[in-house]
């Protein structure tokens, strides 16, 4: 099988510092469009690796089906971002990248020394996409800004559960992962627009994708 990337994003390099669903879904779409996506995982692996279902031959249960689906068309590297030497490798990758996508809680990568302010100094044309439950403090304060968020949180706080329940007193989560997939789509689309801007001007951008806003 020919592994040469094809598609409209061929030649675009994206660093994927994501976990769970919303972030990996965003970079999944970019990989499907031909981008060279490099997933950065901790040495022990992203937690989603260990979620069912597993192939029968996967006796170590370290490569679940959902993880495989969301991380198709990606390369990967294991880096401990608390280690100075691994952090140096990461920043070298930043210098070669067109974009970076992360969905950590606000401030996590900043505290590790690899957040937006550091990355844009290393690569002024970098498009940096941050997917947060309730947005990033850089673009506006939120009383929930430091909350972690997953699909059900986004659906509940965004009002989706009130639309799908049988009546106002019985909210119900929608079956599909709308709180993850819709923000992932917004992130991928916004990244493409910002990438065009960066190619035209040489200036990168910080993109803030709030999961709650995406489904509200």
Query: Annotated catalytic residue: which of 151, 180, 208, 213?
Result: 180
User: Which residue's structure tokens are 């692996």?
Assistant: 45
Is 131 in contact with 183 (CB distance < 8 Å)?
yes
The span from the CA of 3 to the CA of 171, in Å, is 45
93 phi, psi to nearest 5 deg: -65, -40
- Cα–Cα distance list, 61 to 70, 71, 121 (Å): 17, 16, 40
CA atoms in the 13 A half-sphere facing the CB of 65: 6
State how far the alpha carbon of 209 is from the alpha carbons of 12, 50, 96, 185, in Å.
Answer: 21, 27, 24, 10
Is residue 180 among the annotated active site residues?
A: yes
- Which of 139, 161, 163, 164 lies closest to 152 in space, CA to CA? 161
Q: Provide the annotated active-site residues.
A: 180
């Amino acid at each position: 099988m020919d592994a040469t990337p094809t598609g409209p994003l061929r030649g675009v390099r994206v660093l994927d510092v994501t976990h769970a669903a919303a972030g990996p879904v965003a970079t999944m779409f970019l990989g499907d469009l031909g981008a060279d996506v490099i997933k950065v995982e901790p040495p022990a692996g992203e937690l989603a690796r260990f979620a069912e279902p597993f192939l029968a031959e996967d006796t170590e249960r370290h490569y679940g089906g959902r993880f495989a689906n969301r991380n198709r068309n990606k390369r990967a590297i294991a880096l401990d971002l608390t280690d100075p030497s691994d952090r140096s490798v990461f920043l070298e990758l930043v210098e070669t990248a067109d974009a970076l996508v992360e969905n950590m809680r606000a401030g996590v990568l900043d505290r590790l020394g690899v957040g937006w302010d550091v990355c844009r100094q290393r690569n002024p044309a970098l498009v940096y996409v941050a997917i947060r439950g309730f947005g990033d403090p850089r673009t506006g304060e939120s009383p929930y800004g430091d909350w972690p968020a997953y699909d059900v949180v986004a659906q509940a706080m965004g009002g989706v559960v009130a639309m799908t329940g049988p009546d106002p007193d019985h909210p119900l989560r929608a079956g599909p992962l709308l709180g993850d997939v819709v923000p992932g789509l917004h992130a991928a689309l916004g990244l493409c627009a910002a990438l065009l801007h960066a190619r035209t001007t040489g200036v990168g951008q910080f993109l803030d994708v709030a999961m709650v806003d995406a489904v509200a």
